[in-house]
Chains A and B, each alone.
Chain A
């Protein structure tokens, strides 16, 4: 295989490689069922890496990466969007707590073009003053759009109250004042800290071969050097929470919502699997416990639960949209009762089997087109191990009722809870 790369792993058809020169990680999954490929660069930098005054910098940079790089910019008539959309590529980027990703899904005969663009902007982003100012107002409008949404505000406010020291406290888009005042030098500094090959994983999925993908990646990224200084590390640890926290969001709206959240472990902790299973048993599908007790009875119009899979400890949460005559207290009591019942008596094996059956089918559905797998890999890379995506089903299959029960007893306790309510005003 290609001499510039060292093979570091293989699972479920995916091979993992590390570039011997610059440490760039490469994942390749060939699939020739359609003449299409997905190319994605995941940088292991997210709002988790931001400090006071620089909140929103990761997201701001994500926008600026589309404003031009050495060979792909508006002045040359080769902007990223012009270049890639001309060949029909789906192009976008997203920012989240632990990562930023840039991706293209495009006809496979243009795979080289996607790599050229991504390699060029890995170290060649222009980051011009005038582009930063023009993009600042774009982001402020994006921020205003989010502020229009009561449920988004509720979700963010619960995180901010649950985490007071760790950077998961602040919204990924940043606090408004920071977005308004961050300087071009601050953003360039952030770029120069984190946008390096050793801090990135590229994924090539679809109509390619391993040899072909590695040859192309080497040609485009192999010449990029490493960071001149060690990458800054996020070191803040959240202090232990020792009491329930509560908040209310009051703004114009019609029907309320409530979110109960509990501190949960980091993505790679085995207990995170048990909490993921517990979330499914509570709200996944019409057979789930809270669907039956809250939605089917008309107490709420919808309910969902989730356990975050972030690099650092996060939140397990239940979010319910209230029906017109329902009170927040009523729903919160029902959710607590459901959690308490699991903490006391565990769950039925049939509930575990149902969740596993659904996950097995999901694994097959993910093979439908190259982007579905890319997006799952992206989150696993961000959490710290791309194999988390492949191993997920196997890890969950090993769990029993006692694991779910113990997770409920350990994590879903009042003193580590944060409850947020959306209270609509007329």
Chain B
């Protein structure tokens, strides 16, 4: 029986719930999410601020009381925000599941969000933004997001100074409004491990109480930027330079082109035996790390095709040229039958490896729920990968991947020109 056949999917109170018992003893892993629509980078920042305060006490228990309960059980509960989605995760022993589910929903639905804790969370977030200023990798990602996306795209990242200003201008009322907005979405939850599905349904229904959120639709995709840019972000004392290339890819995870595009970018730079690693690291020794992939593509909005490499000053120019040559060859000539066959078996095998942990299983199930698909989609993944033909992959490369449209960002300390 496949994974879907062993999973109970049901509605528990307001929650779209999936429960999968596995052979592991004692251990339970929880993953979940709620869709949101922040609508702007500033609102997304406020959402992040609010999410960072969820574990700072509820309306009925203070932060230390909650921490003490969880730590005495060795349990973990966490929340994070990313774009237009808020995620929850937890891990605990079987006997502690009722307590952990109760605390997860208590913090998520009825957080204190009081002034002192909001102030501390704001300071910590501000410090985190400040630390990013001198981080070459982060700054390269920021600049690329701005080159590829319009400011209202969920993947657009403002400059650190703009984020800092937006955070200072935001009010506590804004943070509480972001929480009210969160409660208008419908939560989904996956519980995997040493569990009894019927008991989980009762637990979740009871803990989620009167949450009355609704499914959210796609995010309206804002138009992509039309002209590629070449930009340098100069940062002192960073002799390893981070280089990024990217262009918008107008597909979502729901698009038929997604899987062929994923396979194509994986053949180019998805692992150690992919083309970029083979040509730029193995054969020429120019870099420690290089790769390509689809980034920021969701079921609700499109993202980008990205290539990244890290280069020392003395290899900057040669490394960029060599990488661009490999990318051009990929776009012009497509991939070979042998490459496709190799990567198909890679993905089939790594799929098995990923599903060997409760976290891997929970992540795979949650992904299908976020995409709005039946859980059988998990089981059919190897067959769908196998079904991608060489023609379909190369046709998508020709239609979707265009080196002439790539923006290029270099971040770090540029090599000094050689004097006369």
Could you tell me which A residues sit within 8 Å of B by CB distance? 32-36, 66-67, 74, 79, 81-82, 85-91, 105-107, 110, 133-142, 144-145, 147-148, 206, 251-255, 284-287, 292, 296, 298, 301, 321, 323-324, 353-354, 357-362, 364-365, 367-370, 424-425
Q: Nearest residue in A to B128 (C-beta to C-beta)?
A: A301
Q: Nearest residue in B to A88 (C-beta to C-beta)?
A: B349
Interface residues of B in 24-40 (CB under 8 A from A): 24-27, 29
Instruction: Verify A324–B127 contact, CB threshold 8 A.
Output: yes
Pairs A–B under 8 Å by Cβ, sample size 18: A81-B277, A85-B272, A90-B353, A105-B356, A107-B352, A137-B312, A138-B285, A145-B310, A251-B237, A284-B71, A296-B120, A301-B127, A353-B72, A354-B68, A367-B25, A368-B193, A370-B356, A425-B237
Instruction: Verify A33–B64 contact, CB threshold 8 A.
Output: no
Instruction: Verify B120–A82 contact, CB threshold 8 A.
Output: no
Instruction: Verify B131–A254 contact, CB threshold 8 A.
Output: yes
Number of interface residues of B (CB under 8 A): 73
Instruction: Verify A368–B27 contact, CB threshold 8 A.
Output: yes
Instruction: Verify A357–B72 contact, CB threshold 8 A.
Output: yes
Interface residues of B in 246-286 (CB under 8 A from A): 271-273, 277, 281-286
Across the interface, B240 reaches (CB within 8 A) one of A89, A144, A357, namely: A144
Q: Which of B9-17, B201-209, B296-304, B340-348 lies at the interface?
A: B340-348
With an 8 A cutoff between CB atoms, is B287 at the interface?
yes
Instruction: Verify A88–B285 contact, CB threshold 8 A.
Output: no
A79-B273, A360-B74, A364-B25 given; 15 more Cβ-contact pairs under 8 Å = A32-B23, A34-B23, A35-B356, A36-B353, A105-B356, A135-B285, A252-B237, A252-B238, A255-B127, A285-B70, A285-B71, A286-B64, A361-B93, A368-B359, A369-B357
Instruction: Verify A354–B26 contact, CB threshold 8 A.
Output: no
Q: Which of A74, A141, A323 has the most CB of B within 10 A?
A: A141
Instruction: Verify B281–A138 contact, CB threshold 8 A.
Output: yes
Give bound CA distance, A425 to B133, whole Å: 12
Q: Nearest residue in B to A35 (C-beta to C-beta)?
A: B352
List of A residues within 8 angstroms of B26 by Cβ = 364, 367
Interface residues of B in 205-257 (CB under 8 A from A): 235-240
List of B residues within 8 angstroms of A301 by Cβ = 124, 127-128
List of B residues within 8 angstroms of A145 by Cβ = 240, 288-289, 310
Instruction: Verify B27–A358 contact, CB threshold 8 A.
Output: no
Q: Nearest residue in B to A356 (C-beta to C-beta)?
A: B74
Instruction: Verify B350–A90 contact, CB threshold 8 A.
Output: yes
With an 8 A cutoff between CB atoms, is B377 at the interface?
no
Q: How far is the CB of A286 from chain B (nearest CB, A)?
A: 4
Across the interface, B273 reaches (CB within 8 A) one of A82, A106, A252, namely: A82
List of A residues within 8 angstroms of B355 by Cβ = 34
List of A residues within 8 angstroms of B281 by Cβ = 138
